[in-house]
Amino acid sequence: MLDSIMLWHPVVLALLATGFTWFCTAFGAGFVFFFRTVPRPVFNAMLGFASGIMIAASFWSLLLPSIELSENAGNPAWLHSSFGFLSGGLSLYVLHKLLPHLHVGLEENHLEGGKSSFQRSLLLILAITLHNIPEGLAVGVAFGALGDGFTYEALMAAAVVAFGIGIQNIPEGAAVSIPLLREGFSARKSFWYGQLSGFVEPIGGLLGAALVFYVESILPFALSFAAGAMIFVVVEELIPESHTGKETEMSTLGAMFGFVLMMALDVGLG
């Protein structure tokens, strides 16, 4: 089975992997059929858990390989990684400034991005969609990197990225659909828009995989770019949102468990 998978094109594998992460978003969005609300401590722990996974994936699965590739190519190890990391973060910064969105759990006067007449529900959807752009890109770049050397170890490393992102997409899907239910949407519509927020992941995955596969020289930059974009989302949105309310220690514990899980997966399998 594994041998046959290794015969597939890396871009096709990236599409399948981001399809899996999209499915995980839909799975989380499906919680809306069973729960009308999520207790704030649980919600904080879910967001913290997602933060921990993204932080660990940014280093173990993206930045560290970027540094190693730069060293192997005889380039200064810090150059591509630093430039790519900052470029990824600044790109997300520009998107946040241009695209109106509303953080989960915050009031309408905390609208970010450009001025908008969009409904509050649409602004909530846009917020999670922004989260998913760097996640899809990270998975795509990881699989696109297989063009640089398609080995069992490289395949497992890419699969770990997809699995980790998929796990943390489950609470993110619920973080869209359940608030939409409170906004007056039916459970079916809340689920539809919740899973739709993950649609950008296959798009980002395809773009990232194709770019890296056909232009291998940008791989160190692309890996660190995806890492910078994810860290921006964590620091700008996930961590602040996970610290609303009084029981913020749950978000900290969630982040620690998420980090350890992703680190163990990457070190143990990748």
pLDDT at residue 228 greater than cutoff 50: yes
- Which backbone phi and psi does 232 adopt, to 5 degrees? -60, -45
Tokens matching residue 35: 């729960």
SS3 72: helix
Tokens matching residue 200: 């950008």
Question: Can you tell me the distance from the alpha carbon of 226 to that of 262, in angstroms, rounded to the nearest whole number?
Answer: 16
pLDDT tens figures, 34-79: 888 878 888 888 889 989 999 998 998 889 989 988 888 777 878 8
Domain-wise residue ranges, the chain? 1-101+116-269
Buried b (16+ CB within 10 A) or exposed e, 10-36: bbebbbebbebbbbbbbbbbbbbeeee
Q: Look up the pTM and report it.
A: 0.83
pLDDT at residue 269 greater than cutoff 60: yes
Q: What percent of the chain has pLDDT over 70?
A: 84
Sign of CA dihedral 94, 98, 103, 108: positive
Question: Can you tell me the distance from the alpha carbon of 204 to that of 215, in angstroms, rounded to the nearest whole number?
Answer: 16
pLDDT tens figures, 124-137: 667 667 778 888 88
- Which backbone phi and psi does 3 adopt, to 5 degrees? -65, -40
pLDDT at residue 270 greater than cutoff 70: no
- Which backbone phi and psi does 101 adopt, to 5 degrees? -160, 165
Q: Kindly state the helix (H) or strand (E) to which residue 176 belongs, with its residue range.
A: helix 152-182
Please, are residues 154 and 221 in contact by the beta-carbon 8 Å criterion?
no
pLDDT band at 109 (very low <50, low <70, confident <90, very high): very low
What pLDDT, on a 0 to 100 scale, did the predictor assign at position 108? 43
Question: Can you tell me the distance from the alpha carbon of 197 to that of 60, in angstroms, rounded to the nearest whole number?
Answer: 26
Question: Can you tell me the distance from the alpha carbon of 93 to that of 252, in angstroms, rounded to the nearest whole number?
Answer: 24
Please, are residues 208 and 141 in contact by the beta-carbon 8 Å criterion?
yes
pLDDT at residue 1 greater than cutoff 60: no
Please, are residues 262 and 53 in contact by the beta-carbon 8 Å criterion?
yes
